[in-house]
Structure 1
C-alpha cells in the first residue's frame, strides 16, 4: 500500500523583519521561526496568572466528549464559563465539574465584538480589545504592514485536543506561547486529494485515514512540525492545517491581508471566507454545472472534461501533462 510523503517544516532562527520578508515570505511555504521575541507572555502566562488576569469575565467555549473536534458533524457543544474557571478546567486531565463527562475537552477561540447581541461576532478578534489585561504581555512581530493587520486570535486548548483540517484565506503567524503543539499542513496544490467541503477537509483521522473512503488522501504531501513554547509558525494563505495539542496550551494567531482590503468579504470576522472574486467564480461554476445537468451523461462527461481542461490552462501553477487533471 502506498505511503504518504512527509516533509519536515524547516526551522529558522535569528529571524527579523528583513529576513522574513526577503527569504521566507516569498517562498509561500510554512516555516517555523524560533527565537523571535514574543514578550513577557512566555514567562507570565501560567494557569494562575491567566486566571487572575481574566477573572470572572465570561467566555464562549467549545466542549467535546472526545479530543478530536470536528466542525463538519459538530461533535461539540458551545458553553459559557467564567474565564478563570475555564482556564482551571482546561489545564486538568479529569474534571470534578463538567458539562458532558469528566474527561471532556475544551477549546477557546476568542471572538470579536458582538455589538448587535446576535450571538455571532461582527468584528474580527483582537487580543487588545477582548483581553486588554493580557495584550501588553504579547508582542506582535512587525513582519507585515500595520495597515494590513486583520486579527489577533487568543486560543487555549486542552491536552490532546485536535482540530479539523481547514484553510484560511489570509496569511497567518501561529504563536505558541505555552505547551507543545503538533501541526500538520498540506499544500493548496493538494486540495484535490483532501476531499473538501467548503474550507474544511472531510478526512478527520489524518494519522489513520480510511483508505476505502478517501483513497486519494495518500497522494497529499504531509508537512509536519512540533511547536515549542516561543515558536512562531508561518502559515501562508490557503495552506491546510491540522493542530494537535500535546500539552495544555495557549497561543495567539495573527492574521494579515496579503491582497488589497477590498478583495476580502467585509462581513467576514473570521478571515476564512473566500476572496470576493473567488466567491463569484465558484457561484458561476455552480450555475455552469446546473446547465450541464440538462444534458445526457455522455454529454455532461465530454463538456465537463472540456471545462476542466480550460480551468487547468488558465489557473494551474504547476502544469504537467494536459490530460492529468482529466483522469
Structure 2
C-alpha cells in the first residue's frame, strides 16, 4: 500500500520553445519533455568515449559505502580521481580499486574553477564533451546561471532538496527515478535548511516523521534523451536505476538582484527570503524572554499572521491554473 498520494509527472513529446513557454512553463509544475534535441551526446557518451575524452582531468567526487547519500549527516567522503578512472569505477558494480569498500558508490557534481565564486559550466570544465551537448534554448541566454555535469553509480540516491532557480535536468545515458514534492508540502518534509531530514522516502520512519505521509508525491522515470523541468522551490529526490550521465541547466527566473551574488551553487535562498528568515529568528529570540504560555500564545499569533499574509489559497496549482512568473524568454 502506498504511504503517500502519488501522481505521475506529465510527459510532453517534441516540445519546442514556443510550446514550453505557452503550455508548460506558466503552470509552475514539473514536466517531462521527451524527444528534445540534446545533440550527439545521446549516441556518443558511452563509458569508453567519456573516458577517452575526459582523460586525466582530476575531478572531486562523493564516495560512500552505501548508495543512499545523506548530505545532512555526511555519510560520504570527498575524493579526487582522474576523470577516466572515475568513470571506470562509477560504471562498475564491484571495484578492484576502491577507497572504502569494493561496492562503494560514486557521484560527480561538477564544480566551477573557483568553487567558492564560479558556478559550474560544462563548456568550461569539460569543453570537449560540451561540444556534444546542446543546451535547450528554452530561456534567454542572459538568464543562464550554470550547467552542471552529473554522473552517478547505479543505485545512487540523492537527498531530497530544493533549488531556488528553475532548471532542466537532461538525462543523457541510463535511467533515473525522480520523486518531487510541491513547495506547499514543505511543512510535511521536516526541513533542515534546503534539505529534508527524511532520508528514506520509500520506507520512512513514521515514528520520527509522522507528517511525511501527508506530502503528495510526484514521480517519473527519465529515459535517455528526456528533459525534466523542475520549477524553483520544488523538492526533488533522484535514484539512478542504472549508471547514468546527465546535465542540469539552471537559469535565473527572478530579477538578477534577487539572488545572492556570492552563491556559486545557486542554492542559497533569495536575498529577501534570507532577510525575512533572519528577522524571524530575531523575533523568536525576543519571544524567549516571555513565560512559556505567552510564547505559545504569541507564537500562534505569528503563525496566523504568516498564514494570512503568505499562504496561497490551495495546496498547489490546479491543472490549467497559471502562476505569475518572469517570462524566461
CA distance in 2, matches of 1:130, 1:319: 43
Instruction: Report the equivalent of 1:102.
Output: 102
* Cross-structure match for 2:197: 202
Q: Which residue pairs with 1:10 in the alignment?
A: 10
Alignment partners' CA distance in 1, 2:116 and 2:66: 26
Q: Which residue of 2 aligns with 1:162?
A: 157
Which whole-Å CA distance do the structure 2 matches of 1:14 and 1:44 have between them? 21
The 2-side partners of 1:270 and 1:237 are apart by 14
2:214 maps to 1:219: yes
Moved over 3 A (4+): none
2:258 counterpart residue number: 263
> 1:232-289 CA deviation, whole Å, 9 max, x = no partner?
0000000000000000000000000010111000010111000000000000000000
TM-score by length of structure 1 reads 0.95
* Alignment coverage as a number of residue pairs: 315
Higher RCO by CA contacts (8 Å cutoff, separation 6 or greater):
2
Counterpart CA distance in 1 for 2:83 and 2:314 is 51
1:1-57, CA deviations, whole angstroms, 9 ceiling, x for partnerless residues?
Answer: 983100000000020000000100000000000000000000000000000001001
SS class of match (1:284): helix
Deviations 1:131-177 (A, max 9, x none): 00111100011100100000000000100000000000000100000
Which residue number in structure 2 is paired with residue 91 of structure 1? 91
Counterpart of 1:316 (choices 285, 308, 311) is: 311
Shift in alpha-carbon separation, 1:55–1:319, aligned structure 2, 3 A? closer
Q: CA deviation at 1:122?
A: 1.4
Matched, 1:69 2:69: yes
Work out the CA distance in 2 between the residues paired with 1:185 and 1:178: 21
Q: Contact conserved, 1:4 with 1:219, CA < 8 A, in 2?
A: yes
Shift, 1:319, TM fit = 5.5
Distance across 2 between alignment mates of 1:203 and 1:245: 18
Query: What is the rounded CA distance, in whole Å, between the counterparts of 2:296 and 2:2 in structure 1?
Result: 29
Q: CA deviation at 1:318?
A: 2.1
> Aligned equivalents of 2:215 and 2:265: distance in 1?
26
User: Is the 8 Å Cα contact of residues 111 and 121 (structure 1) preserved in structure 2?
Assistant: no
> How far did residue 291 of structure 1 move?
0.4
Q: Which sections of structure 1, spanning at least 5 residues, go unmatched?
A: 115-119, 321-327
Match of 2:231 in 1: 236
Q: What residue number does 2:292 align with?
A: 297
Cα separation, 1, equivalents of 2:148 and 2:286: 42
How far has the Cα of 1:74 moved from its partner?
0.1
Aligned to 2:55: 55
Q: What is the alpha-carbon root mean square deviation over aligned residues?
A: 1.1
| Alpha carbons 1:105, 1:161 under 8 Å: kept | yes
State the distance in 2 between where 1:149 and 1:126 align. 10
1:107-256 equivalent positions in 2, closer than 5 A:
107-114=107-114, 120-256=115-251
CA distance in 1, matches of 2:150, 2:95: 20
Give the gaps of 5 or more residues in structure 2.
316-329
Return the alpha-carbon distance in structure 2 between the equivalents of residues 319 and 279 of structure 1.
25
Once residues 190 and 104 of structure 1 are traced to their aligned partners in structure 2, the CA distance between those partners, rounded to angstroms, is 33
Distance 1:132 1:319 in 2: 45
- 1:325 aligns with none
TM-score, scaled to structure 2 = 0.94
Q: Distance in 2 between matches of 1:34 and 1:2?
A: 27
For 1:247 and 1:215, how far apart are their aligned partners in 2?
Answer: 31
1:81 and 1:133 map into 2 onto residues whose CA distance is: 19
State the SS of the aligned residue for 2:219: strand
